[in-house]
Structure 1
Amino acid sequence: MEAPRPPLPPFDEHTAAQKVRAAEDAWNTRDPHRVSLAYTPDSVWRNRAEFFSGREAIVEFLTRKWNKELDYRLIKELWAFRDNRIAVRFAYEWHDDTGQWYRSYGNENWEFDEQGFMRRRIASINDLPIGEKDRKYHWTPGRRPDGHPSLSDLGL
């Protein structure tokens, strides 16, 4: 049995925001194995048009993703919450192997089990090609600095 992953549902505004930041921090490591541990062993995902379940599939998906989406940097923002569910909006910047930069915008719906593991993730994402001069995320790869503007602050 795995130890619980606080904060645990039911969420309030503070604990939902903590959960969102913890997810953002983990994804910004670009470590598929670390990220996968926040999900139940049988977690169900829809990411764009891909449907899969389980931690092994999550690791495979994220490995493929971050091999394509280079210099990935992500900001997530709490949109809504209730009981064991959280809705998030996000934007991330990355470039492909030709040097073309993108900002990907999306929304996620999350559902958690009683132990704080995400058992369902539904993500809708759109990619916008941008010029390098239009980038807004310039921190060193890894965790977004605490003082960095949020999506709302950036007008995204």
Structure 2
Amino acid sequence: MTKLLPLLACVWMLFSLPVRADIDVYQFDNDNQEQVFRELTRELRCPKCQNQDIADSNAGLAKDLRDKTYQMLRAGKSKQDVIDYMVARYGNFILYDPPLMASTLILWLAPLGAIVLGMLFIVLRSRKTAVVSAELTEQERQRLARLLDEEQRS
């Protein structure tokens, strides 16, 4: 038991080490700057994570973008200046709500166009099948006439 006690103490100390947590702490001149910073970090997408804003992402690139946003705001840049800088550097992909442009319009309308073309193809194909099935061969016409005569006699 006495040999086990030091081993247990070592294991306890190993698992009780404090966990290191990185928390970004930014000091702002006023509440307006802080509010703009919070809005920007929610509006800008992390290029690495692709589905997280830079406020929630733990990627190193997201931290760099938060730091750059902070530096630009502290230097007196406006919200639009920061957005323009980020778009110039990373493209419209960095925005969660990209502006309407020809390239984004194609992305939105292409699936709709494919659906419309598919429906048109189905309708035209079904009409063609209906027309083909309406044409009877001579043998089918004679059989139909016999059946109709039999029906009328009954």
The TM-score with structure 1 as length reference comes to 0.21
Larger Rg: 2
Return the structure number with greater strand share: 1
